[in-house]
Amino acid sequence: MTSAWPPSPSTRPRTEPHEQPRFPRCCPGTPSRRRRLPVNRVTEPAPKSPRFALVVVSGAWGAFWGTWSALLPAVLERADATPGELGLVLTAVPAGAMPAMGLVGRIAVGREHRMLLLTAAALALGMVTLSGVSGLGGLGIALFLVGATSGALDVCLNAATARAERVSGRPLFRAVHAAFPVAVIAAAPLTGLARQSGMSIRAVLLLCAAALLGSVLPLVGPAAKDHAWRRADPGGRATPHWRAAWLWGAAIGVLGGCVLVVENAVEQWSVLLLEEDKGASAVLASAAPAVYMAALTVSRLVVQRLPPLRTRHLGALAAVGGCGGFAWAALAPTAGSSLAGFAVSGLAFGPLMPALLSHAGQQDPSGYTVSVVSTVSYGAFLVSPLLVGSLTNWMSLPGALACLASMAVPLLGAAVGARVRPGWGQPRH
């Protein structure tokens, strides 16, 4: 008998050109499944980056809060309440923001632009509701809604900015965060002029709602292409390790909270400090928050144009210059030197918070850690007034504010130990 192996050409099994030959499972070293040939896919171009649109949204959001701060005397008169009662009702804003930020941060992973549109529309609805209430009960409910939607917008704006940075490869956080204080500074005096001309609270707030809705219209296109943004992201689609993201995000958020504790103290106590302890006039004292915000904005815009600086260097600058300048502003003998201290503090603090958010966005491609940083750092708006209020029971207001310079300790500690790296999960392809 002749050998059946190798088979003759006439008996050798044929395979189609597009079909791979099958290998028996018993043969060692050979795959048991058919190997797939690589398929050439046409890559879609990355969608246009909405960089300018995000800056505009931040400006419209800041314009609302600048308007609201200038409307507080009129709101107090309409509610027929005492300043203490109004202050208690105003705590509804952070009370609504904190849980909303934690919830929306998880939902917004991978759909940042869509969620930014929804939260902006919800905040505009909150403004409309706020414009029509007068009693303290209705005002508290409306402020809770505004706080929740504003906190959610904060998280979504930071997450969208982090993704835009990764896709474009260009820094954006400082420009977005610079637009907020600029809008606050511009909106407050304009609101005062509107009140002098006889415009009602309702009309002013409706204008703010319309401006916010108009600012997010350019994001309709990117929101419809969120899936294309995920493909264009150089970090790739990734599911974060939720526990690791919370631990690392909370550590970065605490550092951001140290900055915001001082910033909130400037907004709430600087005018009172200059009037009662420095003998400044009402006009000069009211310039203190504006001086700080202007310095904050200038430093962010200047650093935006410079070569990238290390986050730990910015942390050390904030610890020394920011906290040192604030302590000098609190203890300075004259109003002029106190304003100079606020300016130095704003210049030193300005670049750090955007740098922390940008660092978190680069470490975690999903963007969830940016949401955690935003949520944890926002807790400073609850801690700061309680801390200063408690300290004033034991010492004078300048001494209580000077104690906030202790925020330099964690900032310097983080600058020294900035070599620590988080253990992120690998992107799942």
* Residue 164 near residue 363 (C-beta atoms within 8 A): no
Q: Give the per-residue pLDDT at 162.
A: 86
Which residue has 């044929």 as its token pair?
14
User: Which band of pLDDT confidence, cut at 50, 70 and 90, is reported for residue 385?
Assistant: confident
Q: 138 with 422: CB under 8 angstroms?
A: no
* pLDDT of 251 over the 50 cut: yes
pLDDT of residue 287: 80
Rounded mean pLDDT of 323-351? 93
Residues 6+ apart with CB under 8 A from 170: 51
Instruction: Measure the CA–CA gap between 120 and 421, rounded to whole angstroms.
Output: 34
The pLDDT value given to residue 13 = 47
Mean pLDDT across the stretch 90-105?
87
Enclosing H/E stretch for 130: helix 112-131
pLDDT above 70 (res 200)? yes
Confidence of residue 240 (pLDDT cuts 50, 70, 90): low
- Which position has the higher pLDDT, 363 or 214? 214
Average pLDDT of the segment spanning 324-338:
92
Q: Which two tokens stand for residue 293?
A: 């915000």
The token pair at 197 is: 């001309």
CB 237 within 8 A of CB 365: yes
**Cβ atoms of 103 and 115 closer than 8 Å:** no
Residue 13 makes CB contacts below 8 A (sequence gap 6+) with 7
Residue 330's pLDDT band (cuts 50, 70, 90): very high
| pLDDT value for 331 | 93
Ranking 47-51, 169-173, 186-190 by mean pLDDT, the lowest is 47-51
> How high is the pLDDT of residue 47?
52
Looking at mean pLDDT, say which of 10-19, 45-54, 240-249, 302-311 comes out highest: 302-311
Q: pLDDT at residue 315 above 80?
A: yes
CATH of domain 243-419: 1.20.1250.20
Highest mean pLDDT among 149-153, 242-246, 394-398: 149-153
Q: Which of 20-34, 78-92, 404-418 has the lowest mean pLDDT?
A: 20-34
Calpha distance 289→96 (Å, rounded): 25
Note whether 157 and 176 are within 8 A (CB): yes
Residue with tokens 């300075």: 332
Percent of the chain with pLDDT over 90: 27
Q: How far is CA 21 from CA 10, 16, 18, 24, 31, in A?
A: 17, 9, 10, 10, 11
Nearest-5° angle of CA 181, CA 353, CA 67? 20
Same fold across 49-237 and 243-419? yes
pLDDT of 342: 94
Query: How distant, in Å, are the alpha carbons of 149, 215, 232, 239, 287 from that of 236?
Result: 29, 29, 8, 10, 46
pLDDT at res. 48? 56
Indicate the fold that domain 49-237 takes in CATH: Growth Hormone; Chain: A; (1.20.1250)
- Taking only the tens place, the pLDDT of each residue in 265-276 is 888 788 888 888
Q: Which residue has the tokens 């605490």?
A: 254
Extents of the domains making up the chain: 49-237, 243-419
What is the pLDDT at residue 20? 42
Please tell me the least confidently modeled range out of 124-128, 139-143, 304-308, 333-337. 304-308
Has this prediction a pTM greater than 0.85? no
Mean pLDDT of the chain: 79
pLDDT of res. 64: 94
pLDDT of residue 32: 42
Cis geometry, peptide bond prior to residue 351 (ω within 30 degrees of 0): no
Residue type, position 136, single letter:
L
pLDDT at 255: 92
Residue 29's φ and ψ, nearest 5 degrees, are 80, 5
The whole-number pLDDT of residue 231 equals: 55
pLDDT attached to residue 109: 79
Which tokens belong to 282? Answer: 């009402």
The mean-pLDDT minimum among 6-20, 89-103, 308-322, 341-355 falls in 6-20
Higher pLDDT, 99 or 286: 99
If you ran DSSP here, which 8-state letter would residue 318 be given?
Answer: I
